[in-house]
Structure 1
Amino acid sequence: MFRRWLAVGFPHSRRLFSSKTGHDLGGAIAELNKEIESVFGGPLSNGFSGSANEDAVGKTQFDESNSKDFVMNQEPRLTHVGSTGEAQMVDVSPKESSKRNAIASCKVLLGQQVFDLVLSNQLAKGDVLGVAKIAGISGAKHTSSLIPLCHNIVLTHVRVDLRLNAEDFSVEIEGEAACTGKTGVEMEALTAVTVAGLTVYDMCKAASKDIRITDVRLEHKSGGKSGDWFRKK
């Protein structure tokens, strides 16, 4: 079929796109559609539309249905990027307030030697898990100061839990943040577990430089226009 298309040729195609008025362009498109029908025995499903016209300044206008389809088929763009590519803070003023919640997690791989020191509370800096817990809560409250385009949120609840896992000699950290507002608290929950993990590293780095912070991720969020989201296990 493609070879047949190339072989046929359209005698009026050269003048088709040289038209400079909306009236001539519409007529040329209609003429081309007739030629397409004569070749293929009927109109193509995605054939040319004759609804284009030009305004007084020469900008092409399209009918409303085509423009809506064009907008709907576009890929979503990042909300923190402006129309010219510059960074911007999202305006959340039109949004409605709702209860919002987010849970995040991460893991700190200590190695057996450091794990045993944390378990027996024999590190020089003292209670690793207790200090990291407070650091995580403080980190959540300072998220907007750390992440430039985050909104300053009044948090109603922050939870940070740390648990020693003897199977892989790690500290498992879970953080939760909640608020009632116009934007989510995912970043606050993620910041809580990240700061807690960094604090574990700081408390233990004298014993080992091989400690790794891994698997920082969002586990669940609720509230807002997008509703609930759960990580698939």
Structure 2
Amino acid sequence: MKKVVSTAAESLAGVLFDGMTVMSGGFGLCGIPMSLIEAIRLSGVTGLTVISNNAGIDGYGLGVLLETRQIRKMVSSYVGENKLFAQQFLSGELELEFNPQGTLAERIRAGGAGIPAFYTKTGVGTLVSEGKEIRRFGDDDYVMETGLVADLSIIHAYKGDSEGNLVYRKTARNFNPMMATAGRMTVAEVEHLVPLGEIEPDAIHTPGIFVKRIVHVPAQEKRIEQRTTRPKSEREGA
């Protein structure tokens, strides 16, 4: 089956529907599948539940889907850089399921591994544990968290081949690998598309069996959330 398609819109053809759950890879603005997010925006699909470490920033990343009111619910661990997110949440327009970052990562990994639930100390005795099963192991209490799966996972990789074997680079190797395993349908955008066999087997982070479609995005913009620098004179005197 041919996996490589020409455009992001083509990669999502026949996949999107109102009310679906989408996992979106990335950490801050690093390793986010921007071309696929833009294709979702242009499709007009609504009522989305989006599972992502964060919600982008105003006007970029998942922030563009907040602007168009296409997201109904976010399952996230960090939302501090997005004013529109805060406004929609505080007004009751946007639903939020908040997770400690490690818990979110493990929920996704568990979902991809077919594990329905697990216990963790994180969040016991806080708002995070409200309404969840608490069980005692040894001398400590643990809260039960459920695994997460999605109708669609959209991910960004540094390199990929025609069969969907993927390699991530540096911080982009964050939520992308685990989300690739937890989507019923996984679509990847790759910066460098190479022939099958060019990637050393030991270098592969996501095996192609998890990836259904690939789109080549050779010149995607890469942004930095915040950049803090000191004047050159201060650096030299340090």
Taking structure 2 as the reference length, the TM-score comes to 0.20
**Higher-Rg member (1/2):** 1
